[in-house]
Amino acid sequence: MESQTLEKPTDLDLLRLAKTGDFSAFQQLMRELQPRVYGLAFRILRQAQDAEDATQQAFLALIEHIEDFREESSVATWVMKIASNHALKILRKKRGLRMVSMSEMSSGDSYVDMPHPEFIAPWSEPPDEIAQRAEVQQEIDNALLELDEKYRLVFVLRDVEGLSVRETAEVMELTESTVKVRLLRARLALRERLTKKFGDSSQVMIPDHKHS
């Protein structure tokens, strides 16, 4: 039973305790962060066994390097960076040589031929309400999982997990400007697909101007 009188310890409290060898504090921290770590790994790797491996490796690395946490970012951000590195390591290993496309500049890494928004309409429901509807969950997941890998990875790290553009660039071994371009392509593609699904079709907008 949880004590009613004690405030819930923060991630930082738990990490500080864990650093001193308190395994129960580490377990509690792990329980807090595990769903996010697994979710990140699954979205990167798209496969349960690989996501499980990445999650386990990330937490083992966390034990290994627990003294290295310098409190320069939040505990969650630090853990998510470690988790991203391990998930990407597994992805690179699986891809072998084909992985070059992940970090190298390629078509799509500039603003040339950026697709223009086509279906523009305000959404008929707020996103946090849509997120609670079980029947659309699969479609939302699929929209992301079917996105081209190089766009999916930056979107997951930056927009879903909330790493900064710089942190995403570090983890992905890309320049910040490449991260931004890929992020824009990811956002436009997902916006297009999800707005077709969740946009209010009675309020579709047509831009009344053409940009050069």
Partner 1 sequence: MTCEELLKALNDYVDGAQLTEICEEFSEHLAGCNPCQVVVDNIRQTISLYRAGKPYEMPQGFQERLQSALQARWEQKFGRSDGQSENRFSANETGSSK
Calculate helix-pair angle for 23-45, 48-64, nearest 10 degrees. Answer: 140
Decide: is 180 part of the binding site for partner 1 (CB under 8 A). Answer: yes
Decide: is 139 part of the binding site for partner 1 (CB under 8 A). Answer: no
Decide: is 160 part of the binding site for partner 1 (CB under 8 A). Answer: yes
Residue with tokens 């009613």: 4
CB of 185 to partner 1, least distance (A): 10
DSSP assignment string, 157-204? IIIIT---HHHHHHHHT--HHHHHHHHHHHHHHHHHHHHHHHB-GGG-
**CA 28 to each of CA 33, 59, 65: distance values in angstroms, whole numbers, following the listed order:** 9, 13, 18
93-104 b/e with 16+ CB inside 10 Å = b? eeeeeeeeebee
Residue with tokens 């949880």: 2
CB of 77 to partner 1, least distance (A): 14
Decide: is 128 part of the binding site for partner 1 (CB under 8 A). Answer: yes
40-66 b/e with 16+ CB inside 10 Å = b? bbbbbbbeeebbebbbebbbeebeeee
Cβ proximity of 184 and 112 under 8 Å: no
Residues 77-116: x where in contact with partner 1 by CB under 8 A, - otherwise, as a string: ----------------------------------xx-x-x
Decide: is 46 part of the binding site for partner 1 (CB under 8 A). Answer: no
Residues 6+ apart with CB under 8 A from 32: 11, 14
Considering beta carbons, is residue 81 or 161 the nearer one to partner 1? Answer: 161
Considering beta carbons, is residue 64 or 100 the nearer one to partner 1? Answer: 64
CB of 127 to partner 1, least distance (A): 4
Q: Which of residues 76, 99, 102, 188 is near partner 1 by CB under 8 A?
A: 188
Binding interface with partner 1 (CB under 8 A): 13, 16-17, 19-24, 26-27, 30, 34-36, 38-39, 42, 48-49, 51-52, 55-56, 59-60, 63-64, 111-112, 114, 116-117, 120-123, 126-128, 130-132, 137, 140-141, 144, 155, 159-160, 162, 165, 180, 183-184, 187-188, 190-191, 194-195, 198-199, 205-207, 209, 211-212
